[in-house]
Amino acid sequence: MIALDLIYRMNTYAFELGRIKELAVAELKSLFGDDSVEEIIDNYAIVRTDHTATQKTQDRLGGIIKIIEITEEDTNPPKNPQELETKFKEHIQSILSGYIRTKDTSGKTLFAINAINLPGSSKIFLKNSLIFSKKFLKSSTISSRFINKPWTNTTSAQVYKSKILEKGVEITVLFSPKTNKIFAGKTISIQNLDNYSLRDYKKPKRDAHLGMLPPKLAQIMINLAEPNILEPNKTIYDPFCGTGTVLTESLLMNKDANGSDLQERMTEYSDENCKWLTKEFHTHNKFHTFTKDAILLTKEDVPQNIDAVITEGYLGKPQSTIVPKEQRDKIFGELGELHKGWLTNIHPLLTPGTPIIMCLTAFNIGHDIEHFPEFEQLAKKAGFKILQTFTYSRKDQMIVRDIIVMVS
């Protein structure tokens, strides 16, 4: 009975993955459980969960571009290309019919169709299915306009700017050759671009020399420490808080945020940014900042009941060109001392099992990435076990961040 009930309540979604796919998948697995990700189709993760996803779910997922609610599934679609196209159209028509039944279709209805991983030409499929859908809507006396640029899938900026999620419907059909399955559904949420740039560029205190953490990456790091979307960690601590991106993103995710930094100027910046965010976004959680060298933290400094340590840490000086080998070794040596110091120092101050998610410096050396040497041993000596490592890089940036997930 219980199993049946679970199946009945299971929701299926396709999450469009952001630029660093592995990180986005890890973020989903952390929140929804390892078994929740059924398969990856192109840039989309098919997820089965009891959780009902909304724009609120979207807003806390830094690695996810959009969420599609899957309402149509076919486990044995026809092999013949023409019959397969007819099958896809049936699914599109079914979603459009559902839309007509439940939404106000007076005025012009906006719609869009995306084809992911379909066999054959997606241009031809999009052209046929967009024209087919327009005709179908017309047959129901609905005047419509599709927002797809000539026979290509939509971009997230296009979807966001057109407000199609409020004024119409975006349908996505996906095909998995691996499992021979069709999935189709409508988009229920998209990354709020204005909100991210407000957080990134409009906060009162910024420091261009610091190389600030992108809010989306801070969100992913916080989510990597979450055991379950319904049992969130409540108190976050960043011992290298800088201008406070981890703190402000924690507040937005309804967590208490604590931060410290070696430089008083930075703790003041963090404090001011947290005050600004609390007012601007009406958050309710507490925040606290103080000035301290992370190597010298004591029991009295570190807030009680820390659920997770999330930190970008110190990456070394920003670099605009490829760093020569000799200098890279010197930087690794200096950072190694810092990491050994703060990790050894903080270990006895944390409850066993507390996760630490941190960034570790790696170098873009043109043709390759040079990673931090022997960090696993260093972390082990300090009492931590590394669970996962991901690389967050951009072609134009010389300093690469490796994201380390470990537990005390």
Report, in Å, the least distance between residue 241 CB and ligand SAM: 6
**Cα–Cα dist 15/223, whole Å:** 15
Cβ-closest position to ligand SAM: 242
Rank residues 99 and 314 by Cβ distance to ligand SAM and give the closer one.
314
Rank residues 81 and 333 by Cβ distance to ligand SAM and give the closer one.
333
Rank residues 132 and 196 by Cβ distance to ligand SAM and give the closer one.
196
Rank residues 170 and 238 by Cβ distance to ligand SAM and give the closer one.
238
**Cα–Cα dist 262/240, whole Å:** 7
Rank residues 89 and 205 by Cβ distance to ligand SAM and give the closer one.
205
Report, in Å, the least distance between residue 315 CB and ligand SAM: 5
Report, in Å, the least distance between residue 214 CB and ligand SAM: 9
Q: Up-side HSE of residue 69: CA atoms within 13 Å toward CB?
A: 18
Cβ-in-10-Å burial (0-12, 13-18, 19+) of 247 comes to buried
Binding positions for ligand SAM, rule: CB under 6 A: 210-213, 239-240, 242-243, 245-246, 261-263, 266, 293-295, 312, 314-315, 338
Rank residues 270 and 408 by Cβ distance to ligand SAM and give the closer one.
270
- Whether residue 289 contacts residue 260, with contact meaning beta carbons closer than 8 Å, is answered with yes
Report, in Å, the least distance between residue 402 CB and ligand SAM: 14
Rank residues 40 and 398 by Cβ distance to ligand SAM and give the closer one.
398
67 three-class SS = strand
In this structure, what is the dihedral angle of CA atoms 295, 298, 302, 307, given to the nearest 10 degrees? 80
DSSP class per residue in 93-161: HHHHHHHHHHS---SPEEEEEEEES-SS-HHHHHHHHHHHHHHHHHHTT--EEE---TTSPPPHHHHHH
Report, in Å, the least distance between residue 250 CB and ligand SAM: 12
- Whether residue 170 contacts residue 186, with contact meaning beta carbons closer than 8 Å, is answered with yes
Report, in Å, the least distance between residue 337 CB and ligand SAM: 10
**Which residues, listed in sequence order, are joined to residue 187 by a DSSP beta bridge?**
68
Strands (E), 262-351: 287-291, 308-311
295 phi, psi to nearest 5 deg = -75, -20
Report, in Å, the least distance between residue 339 CB and ligand SAM: 10
> Pairing between strand 44-49 and 109-116?
unpaired
